[in-house]
């Protein structure tokens, strides 16, 4: 797992796999979420990528934060 954080603007990035899917998680502020036109609870399928927005860590700032999760299934070799 890779984890990066910038507390000054409440942004975090996590990259991990669970053995079935690869995941990229961006934890962003409410204003950043609105700036890109996303809403809490939103789910979208973008080809092979699934996007979902969930409530993140409320301790980061008083307005709360949101986790933008991008997931894709791991390609399985059929050899």
**Residue 7: predicted pLDDT:** 59
Predicted pLDDT at 62: 47
Contact by Cβ (8 Å): 40, 27: no
Residue reference for tokens 């079935």: 20
Q: In a structure prediction context, what are the per-residue pLDDT tens digits for the chain, which is 79 residues long?
A: 555 555 555 678 889 999 999 999 988 888 888 888 988 899 999 999 999 999 765 554 446 788 999 999 998 776 6
pLDDT at 64: 74
Domain boundaries, the chain: 2-73
The confidence score (pLDDT) of residue 70 equals 94
């Amino acid at each position: 797992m890779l984890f990066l954080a910038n507390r000054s603007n409440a942004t975090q990035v996590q990259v991990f796999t669970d053995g079935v899917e690869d995941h990229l998680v961006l934890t962003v502020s409410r204003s950043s979420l609105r700036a890109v036109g996303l809403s809490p609870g939103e789910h979208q399928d973008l080809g092979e990528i699934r996007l979902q927005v969930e409530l993140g860590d409320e301790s980061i700032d008083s307005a709360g934060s949101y986790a933008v999760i991008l997931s894709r299934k791991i390609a399985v070799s059929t050899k």
